Amino acid sequence: MDTSTEDLRFDERGLMPAVVQDADTGEVLTLAYMNAESLKRTRETGETWFWSRSRNALWHKGETSGHTQTVVEMRLDCDRDAVLLRVRPRGPACHTGARSCFHNRIDGDDARPAVTMPAARLDQTLDELYALLLSRYRERPADSYTTQLFDEGLEKILAKVDEESQETIAAGRNETDQRLVEETSDLLYHLLVLLVQRGVTLSAIQEELARRRQKRK
């Protein structure tokens, strides 16, 4: 439900944790901290501002890197001592260049790249994403990047598929495995947008792949 920012419960340092989440994919991008001033500036500017505990100063995300985060929605938790920021990121959230700060897994005492631990089967993830995109196509919620793509039409979507294809090729040729994962994910997302726009189902793609597999046996 709607709520105000009155009577917020900051800790003894005047801070509260801020969970930053991709508004379109649901991926958690980072955990930062906000004070009253950074919260105020975030609401006023529509981009994320935090309090840097290491520098002891306000921090506008992307001020030097250009990797800003446009805020779609802000929510307080039930105790009013933590905030969730749903954003559309422009570039990676992590200072390492990774899309999310949560790119390491813990396996006992050993930390490994998260790419080795799939959160779900790819087919399940694609099905869920397709269903989400289909709902965006039907409902057209405001302040949605996906809605914007559908509103701008087929030629815009095709241009984005072409752009992401080129960036995936570049990542495959010259960049890190993580960058290849990120660009491939962007390409898959825009390909699914194209399928929804054209009314092509994932089952049609699955059937065609199965037919080709049988043919090549």
Q: Is the dihedral of CA 126, 127, 133, 137 positive or negative?
A: positive
Burial of 85 (0-12, 13-18, 19+ CB in 10 A): buried
Tokens of 62: 């992307």
160 and 207 in a single domain? The answer is: yes
Q: What is the CATH number of the domain that holds 195?
A: 1.10.287.1080
Considering the domain architecture, whether residues 107 and 34 belong to the same structural domain is answered as yes
* In a shared domain, residues 39 and 104: yes
pTM beyond 0.85: the answer is no
- Quote the pLDDT of residue 173: 95
Does 84 lie in the same domain as 168?
no
What is the pLDDT, as a whole number, of residue 4?
56
Residues 126 and 98 in one domain: no
Closest C-alpha to 93, from 27, 36, 33: 27
Contact residues for 213 (Cβ-Cβ < 8 A; gap 6+)? none
**pLDDT attached to residue 190:** 96
For residue 146, give the nearest of 138, 47, 124 by alpha carbon: 138
Q: What is the pLDDT of residue 199?
A: 93
- Give the range of the structural domain holding residue 47, as residue numbers without chain letter: 16-111
When divided into structural domains, the chain yields a total of: 2
State the DSSP string of 83-98. Answer: EEEEEEESS-SSTTS-
Q: State the pLDDT at residue 60.
A: 94
**How does DSSP assign 12-56, residue by residue?**
TTS-EEEEEEETTT--EEEEEEE-HHHHHHHHHHSB-EEEETTTT
How many whole angstroms separate alpha carbon 141 and alpha carbon 92? 25
193 and 126 both lie in a single domain: yes
In a domain, 5, yes or no: no
* Three-class DSSP category at 168: helix
Q: Are residues 99 and 124 in the same domain?
A: no
At 111 the pLDDT is 46
Q: Which amino acid is at 198?
A: R
How far is Cα 163 from Cα 182, in angstroms, rounded to an integer? 14
Enumerate residue ranges in the chain where pLDDT < 70: 1-6, 107-121, 217
Condensed to tens digits (0 to 9), the pLDDT of residues 101-129 reads 887 777 654 444 444 334 456 777 788 88
